[in-house]
Structure 1
Amino acid sequence: MPNDPREPDPPPEGAVSPPLGDLPRSDPPTGAGDGPNEEPGPDAAGGPEPAEDAYTAELRELEDRWRRALADLDNLRKRHARELDRERMLERSRTAAAFLPVLDNLELALTHSGSDPGAIVEGVQAVRDQAVNVLELLGYPRHAETGVVFDPARHEAVSVVQDPDAEPGTVVEVLRPGYGDGERQLRPATVTVAKRE
């Protein structure tokens, strides 16, 4: 019987025919959701892209690290302020403790005020030397030298006098001693200076 021209020719013997569901489509897809069984793509309204999820997670992690760093900085600032206050208090107590023997000796001199006046004067001078020594140990040496050249950084001139025995521009008399040097100066020495000719 002759073949019907409307039916396709049978495949040659030994050839494998593809399954019916896997036949290639001839028309390209027009967009997401055209067919009933198609999965929505990453651009579909079904959810965010995987790259966007990673970006959001990294952003959250960076914000968390930033907040932790701010909290650590605030804690460090508070701890530093507490330690600074504690160090100031300790230094104040050390300085006061260094002057306690001076105060003790002054009180001892006052208890012997009825005895020999010469001994009292010697005792007060010893207490003064002790106080000067304490200041020097704290980094503030005493300056009460005469005959040195006037230095505006170390001296404060309150008067100028004519003195034939002194070099012009030198310290003739110290009215009030100075303590300390340079940036660690408590006060300059108050002096009288020989007049320049």
Structure 2
Amino acid sequence: MADNEKEQVPGEIDQETDRVDEAAGDNPEICFYPADVEQFMSALNEKSRLLEEMTDRYKRLQADFDNFRRRTRQEKEELSAVVTERVVCELLPVVDNFERATASTPADVDTLATGVQMIFRQLNNALCQLGVEPVSAVGNVFDPGLHEAVMRVEDKSQPDGIIIEELQKGYKVNGRLIRPSMVKVVANS
């Protein structure tokens, strides 16, 4: 080595060129100026800060969503309990009247029949207050959205598709079908 050439140590700043050689002598293309290093470090710090900020926002969003799910589940359970209580409160007087009717067996069957009819009316009134309404069937045209045909009969005196008998009543609650009517339908071939 010549006297005027000094040996460069990797990672050391060359005072004449003001650059850092990462691999002195091995690859002359790999070298960084201190200003570049500062710029890279600044960009890296900014990206790290943004990553931490986004991670924090993600964690907060996840916690908010978990809280929302929990609140929604609680509200559904509370609403279900309120609806059940309402139904039970409407039906309890009917149960009371059935208990009275069965506790006292009248000697007269007509009196018992009258009592049962009164209880049946009371039950229907309670169901009406809850928004329950029967599906009309007999004499109407068969509608697969409201009726379930379980029997087909030939009857030349009736037009095709007319319901002639209701085997089980169908019901709607607030306009929504909860049980279709089971019906006998005219099918003239």
Bigger proportion of residues as strand: 2
Distance 1:56 1:160, change over 3 A: closer
Describe the superposition over 1:91-141 as per-residue Cα deviations: whole angstroms up to 9, x where unpaired.
Answer: 222222221111111112222322432122122112222222333332331
Alignment correspondent of 1:8: none
Distance 1:123 1:165, change over 3 A: farther
Superposed, 1:42-61 pairs within 5 Å as: 42-43=35-36, 49-61=41-53
Matched, 1:41 2:28: no
Distance 1:146 1:92, change over 3 A: same
Matched, 1:194 2:186: yes
**Matched residue SS, 1:185:** strand
Cα distance between partner residues in 2 of 1:122 and 1:62 = 74
Runs of 4+ in structure 1 deviating by more than 4 angstroms, as ranges, are 162-168
Describe the superposition over 1:140-191 as per-residue Cα deviations: whole angstroms up to 9, x where unpaired.
Answer: 3113552222222222233334556655432222222111179822222222
**Matched residue SS, 1:30:** coil
Give the TM-score, by structure 2 length.
0.69
Give the TM-score, by structure 1 length.
0.67
Distance 1:117 1:166, change over 3 A: farther
**Matched residue SS, 1:120:** helix
Larger radius of gyration: 1
Alignment correspondent of 2:12: none
Distance 1:76 1:181, change over 3 A: closer
Corresponding residue to 2:61 among 65, 69, 74: 69
- The amino acid that maps onto 1:174 is E
Superposed, 1:94-173 pairs within 5 Å as: 94-143=86-135, 145-163=137-155, 166-173=158-165
Cα distance between partner residues in 2 of 1:159 and 1:188 = 14
User: Which stretches in structure 1 are left out of the alignment for 5+ residues?
Assistant: 1-27, 34-39
Cα distance between partner residues in 1 of 2:146 and 2:174 = 8
Count of aligned pairs: 163
Identity fraction in percent: 33
Cα distance between partner residues in 2 of 1:159 and 1:49 = 83
Cα distance between partner residues in 1 of 2:174 and 2:153 = 27
- The amino acid that maps onto 2:34 is G
Could you tell me how far 1:50 is from its partner in structure 2?
3.0
Cα distance between partner residues in 2 of 1:182 and 1:153 = 16
* Aligned-residue RMSD, C-alpha: 3.1
The range that moved more, 146-155 or 102-111, is 146-155
**Matched residue SS, 1:148:** coil
1:132 touches 1:142 (CA, 8 Å); kept in 2? Answer: no
Alignment correspondent of 1:11: none
- The amino acid that maps onto 2:53 is E
**Matched residue SS, 1:169:** coil
Alignment correspondent of 1:31: 18
